[in-house]
Chains A and B, each alone.
Chain A
Amino acid sequence: NAGVTQTPKFQVLKTGQSMTLQCAQDMNHNSMYWYRQDPGMGLRLIYYSASEGTTDKGEVPNGYNVSRLNKREFSLRLESAAPSQTSVYFCASSQGTGSSPLHFGNGTRLTVT
């Protein structure tokens, strides 16, 4: 039982390059989330998927797109990376009921030069 798995763990991009961050969960959770974490700013919600087939914007969606491929997988795409997107990206999942705790992966550390 791996929980939430994120790939890759580390990535360096040049400005303008694109990439997709992958996330998969094996807990049969309904909801999945993408957060970014920057020093002193806490975790900020980028996009979320309340259930398979639905996605919606969070607090900081600009420059990102997401795909809920199936119930297990939720990917985050950067179409044209910018230095401001240098961050640690966390994927999380939950049952999706109001107070369900989030289960996080161990993050992808992205540097954009």
Chain B
Amino acid sequence: SQKIEQNSEALNIQEGKTATLTCNYTNYSPAYLQWYRQDPGRGPVFLLLIRENEKEKRKERLKVTFDTTLKQSLFHITASQPADSATYLCALDMTTDSWGKLQFGAGTQVVVTP
């Protein structure tokens, strides 16, 4: 069965440093991968999408890489700020049809301290 793994341990990082999160998957050949941010008591919010033919995608201080050979995506937050503290979820498409069903990882909590 398909499996998505994210580091379950919280990532504690000092303000200004780069946070790097990992998303590994097995038994998948996803056409794309998405990253979401979730704050306590709120629903996830979409951040970035990267397709299988793209190696890297950037948005402001965020960078995502996608290695289909390693079956891994890395999510980087550069120059981290306390406001970046949240849980970050990766999600992969479950199907080749057009309905956008996503399977989510359990998420990694990031804590940025001043």
Residues of A within 8 A of B (CB): 4, 31, 33, 35, 40-45, 48, 50, 58-59, 90, 92, 94-107
Contact = CB atoms under 8 A, between A and B. Distances in A.
Contacts of B103: 45, 59
Nearest to A39: B106
A106 B8 CA distance: 22
B43 A42 contact: no
Contact of A40 (B4, B8, B31, B44): B8
B8 A43 contact: no
Contact of A101 (B8, B42, B49, B99): B49
B100 A100 contact: yes
Interface in B8-57: 8, 31-32, 34, 36, 41-46, 49, 51
Nearest to A90: B43
Contacts of A31: 99-100
7 contacts: A31-B100, A41-B106, A99-B31, A100-B100, A101-B49, A102-B102, A107-B42
Contact of B99 (A40, A50, A105): A50
B69 interface: no
Contact of B100 (A102, A105, A107): A102
Contact of A43 (B49, B97, B104): B104
B49 A45 contact: no
